[in-house]
């Protein structure tokens, strides 16, 4: 039997309805703040992610689906959306538009990770990017919008962790300081952390090994090393979040698996998720556009995992689909079949939700099916000139001409 590839899943109709709710909430919340939809290709030149996300990251080192396009060009299924959106910003000269350019997306992404609950090889994100503003208000607004989205979806037990990475220069000096600290305490670190001291020393804060964790408690923290402007920027973000009543915890050891971040960095987690507790994350990325050969352009954004939001969400108010009319067939001739077909079509053109019997059931079976799908009315077509209409709520049934079915229903639904 052929099955969906490992780490992927089908979105079946019931789940699709929950996802439509996510999409409509994202559209309403982000749309009201002036974010406009963007979609970029599913695959991009590999170099976009190598340069954008960072050569040393797990994503680029281990998780990308990279292939040759047959003509010697290396392409990669997008593992994330920020680098592609920046590529599009540069490619379409969006720096000429009024800034910031505020964009959102709902797209699928691909990472070759070990699948588990909440972690897939193809997954969906709602993302928002504000490109062309350096202001703290942009960061705070983005976080407020994300907070609103999570609340609208009733994502349970949400925590927000917040930090600032400063700029690449202070960060590099800090990195040296941290590396020296790690070297000085090498004998107390786990082999994995030791092996990564030069590649990615910040990852040491992520370690689960108890001795490593204890050692890291006294390690120098980046938040204490921010320069004056970055510290001021961060203080403003915090003030705006405080004013907005958004609760957060400062986490000076917060690290995220992407290299483009500068200044503000944040992550929403949900206790309801277990191991893969990251629901959404983002931050400022003031150097990325330049790194991709665009004009120096500050920017900020986030992405939220659709599957993780849904896993951590309470029951969503998904309404069952309405069926105004089910068109049934009494045993009859071809003319009756054509009349029934036409009636269902006309009903839909008149704005009704109408379904036609397509399975050759007996009349009794058709009425049972109509009841099962919650049809409000059933029209039973006998032939071109004869039909009856059954009100499934009252049980009343009357004979009428097929052409009268739609007007009667429209009048009826207006009355009720
Ligand atoms: P990220 O933290 O890598 O950030 O991913 C954002 C969210 O996508 C995660 O919090 C998680 O909910 C979901 N996610 C990530 N990997 C998987 C997976 N394998 N299976 C299921 N869900 C997953 C980014 O992607 C950045 N582009 C966010 C950003 C936008 N930063 C600035 N702008």
- The predicted-structure confidence for 97-128, as pLDDT tens digits, reads as follows 999 999 999 999 999 999 999 999 999 999 99
Pocket of ligand 1 (CB under 6 A): 80-82, 111, 113, 118-120, 123, 125, 127, 129, 256-258, 278-283, 285, 301-305, 307-308
Which residue is it, tokens 């000076």? 252
Q: Where are the alpha helices (DSSP H) in 9-158?
A: 13-32, 46-52, 58-62, 82-91, 136-152
Residue 377 — very low, low, confident or very high, per pLDDT cuts 50/70/90? very high
Ligand 1 centroid–CA 407 distance in Å is 51
What is residue 129's predicted lDDT score, i.e. its pLDDT?
98
**Residue whose CA lies nearest to ligand 1 atom number 30:** 302
Nearest CA to 279 among 251, 250, 312, 236?
Answer: 312
pTM: 0.92
CA torsion sign, 73 to 77 to 83 to 88? positive
| Mean pLDDT, rounded, for 356-364 | 95
What is residue 76's predicted lDDT score, i.e. its pLDDT?
98
Cα 99 off chain centre by? 24
| Mean pLDDT, rounded, for 368-393 | 95
Cβ-contact 363, 340 below 8 angstroms = no
**Ligand 1 atom nearest 111 alpha carbon:** 19
Ligand 1 centroid–CA 35 distance in Å is 19
Pocket mutation for ligand 1, best pick of 102, 281, 309 (most atoms within 8 Å of C-beta): 281
Does residue 336 surpass a pLDDT of 50? yes
Pocket mutation for ligand 1, best pick of 7, 141, 278 (most atoms within 8 Å of C-beta): 278
Cβ-contact 15, 126 below 8 angstroms = no
Q: Which residues contact 389 (CB under 8 A, 6 or more apart)?
A: 377, 378, 379, 380, 397, 398, 400, 405, 408, 409
**Ligand 1 atom nearest 256 alpha carbon:** 2
| Mean pLDDT, rounded, for 33-47 | 98
Ligand 1 centroid–CA 48 distance in Å is 17
Q: Which residues contact 353 (CB under 8 A, 6 or more apart)?
A: 321, 322, 323, 324, 325
| Mean pLDDT, rounded, for 77-92 | 98
Ligand 1 centroid–CA 98 distance in Å is 28
Phi-psi region of 394 (alpha: psi -120 to 50; beta: other; left: phi over 0): alpha
What is residue 413's predicted lDDT score, i.e. its pLDDT?
52
174-193 pLDDT, tens digit per residue, is 999 999 999 999 999 999 99
DSSP secondary-structure letter at 119? Answer: B
Q: Which residues contact 21 (CB under 8 A, 6 or more apart)?
A: 153, 316, 317, 318
274-324 pLDDT, tens digit per residue, is 877 899 999 999 999 999 999 999 999 999 999 999 999 988 777 778 999
Q: Which residues contact 416 (CB under 8 A, 6 or more apart)?
A: none
Pocket mutation for ligand 1, best pick of 83, 108, 291, 303 (most atoms within 8 Å of C-beta): 303
**Ligand 1 atom nearest 81 alpha carbon:** 27
Report the interhelical angle of 228-243 vs 136-152 (nearest 10°): 40
Q: Dig out the tokens for 202 from the structure.
A: 């910040």
What is residue 276's predicted lDDT score, i.e. its pLDDT?
77
Does residue 30 surpass a pLDDT of 70? yes
What is residue 34's predicted lDDT score, i.e. its pLDDT?
98
% of the chain with per-residue pLDDT over 90? 88
Ligand 1 centroid–CA 109 distance in Å is 9
Cβ-contact 340, 389 below 8 angstroms = no
Distance in angstroms (rounded) separating the CA atoms of residues 153 and 313: 6
Which residue is it, tokens 């920027």? 233
DSSP secondary-structure letter at 313? Answer: B
SS3 299: strand
Which range among 62-71, 181-190, 197-206 shows the weakest confidence by mean pLDDT? Answer: 197-206
Question: H or E element: which one contains 398?
Answer: strand 397-400
**Ligand 1 atom nearest 285 alpha carbon:** 32
222-274 pLDDT, tens digit per residue, is 999 999 999 999 999 999 999 999 999 999 989 888 999 999 999 999 999 98
**Ligand 1 atom nearest 129 alpha carbon:** 33
What is residue 253's predicted lDDT score, i.e. its pLDDT?
86
Which residue is it, tokens 């040759």? 68
DSSP secondary-structure letter at 155? Answer: B
What is residue 315's predicted lDDT score, i.e. its pLDDT?
81
Does residue 416 surpass a pLDDT of 60? no
Average pLDDT taken over every residue of the chain? 95
**Ligand 1 atom nearest 119 alpha carbon:** 20
**Residue whose CA lies nearest to ligand 1 atom number 21:** 119
Residue 414 — very low, low, confident or very high, per pLDDT cuts 50/70/90? very low
What is residue 256's predicted lDDT score, i.e. its pLDDT?
87
| Mean pLDDT, rounded, for 50-62 | 93
Ligand 1 centroid–CA 312 distance in Å is 15
**Residue whose CA lies nearest to ligand 1 atom number 1:** 281
| Mean pLDDT, rounded, for 135-161 | 97
């Amino acid at each position: 039997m052929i099955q969906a590839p490992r780490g992927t899943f089908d979105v079946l109709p019931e789940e699709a309805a929950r996802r439509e709710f996510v999409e409509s909430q994202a559209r309403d919340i982000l749309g009201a703040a002036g974010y406009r939809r963007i979609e970029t290709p599913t695959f991009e030149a590999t170099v976009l992610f190598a340069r954008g996300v960072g050569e040393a990251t797990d994503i680029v080192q281990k998780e990308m689906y990279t292939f040759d396009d047959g003509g010697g060009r290396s392409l990669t299924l997008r593992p994330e959306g920020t680098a592609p959106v920046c590529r599009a910003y540069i490619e379409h000269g969006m720096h000429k538009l009024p800034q910031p350019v505020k964009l959102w997306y709902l797209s699928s992404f691909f990472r070759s990770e070990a699948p588990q609950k909440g972690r897939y090889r193809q997954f969906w994100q709602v993302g928002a990017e504000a490109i062309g503003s350096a202001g703290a208000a942009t960061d705070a607004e983005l976080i407020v919008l994300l907070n609103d989205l999570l609340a609208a979806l009733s994502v349970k037990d949400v925590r927000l962790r917040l930090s600032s990475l400063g700029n690449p220069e202070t960060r590099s000096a800090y990195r040296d300081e941290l590396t020296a600290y790690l070297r000085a305490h090498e004998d107390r670190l786990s082999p994995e952390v030791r092996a990564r001291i030069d590649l990615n020393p910040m990852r040491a804060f992520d370690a689960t090994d108890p001795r490593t964790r204890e050692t890291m408690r006294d390690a120098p923290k980046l938040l204490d090393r921010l320069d004056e402007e970055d510290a001021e920027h961060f203080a403003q973000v915090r003030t705006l979040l405080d004013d907005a009543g958004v609760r957060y915890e400062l986490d000076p050891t917060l690290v995220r698996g992407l290299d483009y971040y500068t200044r503000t960095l944040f992550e929403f987690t949900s206790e309801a998720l277990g191991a893969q507790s990251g629901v959404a994350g983002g931050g400022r990325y003031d150097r990325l556009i330049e790194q991709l050969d665009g004009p120096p352009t500050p920017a900020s954004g986030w992405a939220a995992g659709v599957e993780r939001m849904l896993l951590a969400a309470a029951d969503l108010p998904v309404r069952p689909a309405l069926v105004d009319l089910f068109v049934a067939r009494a045993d009859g001739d071809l003319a009756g079949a054509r009349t029934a077909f036409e009636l269902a079509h006309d009903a839909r053109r008149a704005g009704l939700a109408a379904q036609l019997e397509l399975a050759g059931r007996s009349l009794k079976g058709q009425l049972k099916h109509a009841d099962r799908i919650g049809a409000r009315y059933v029209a039973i077509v006998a032939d071109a000139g004869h039909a009856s209409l059954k009100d499934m709520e009252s049980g009343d049934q009357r004979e009428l001409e097929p052409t009268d079915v739609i007007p009667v229903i429209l009048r009826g639904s207006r009355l009720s």
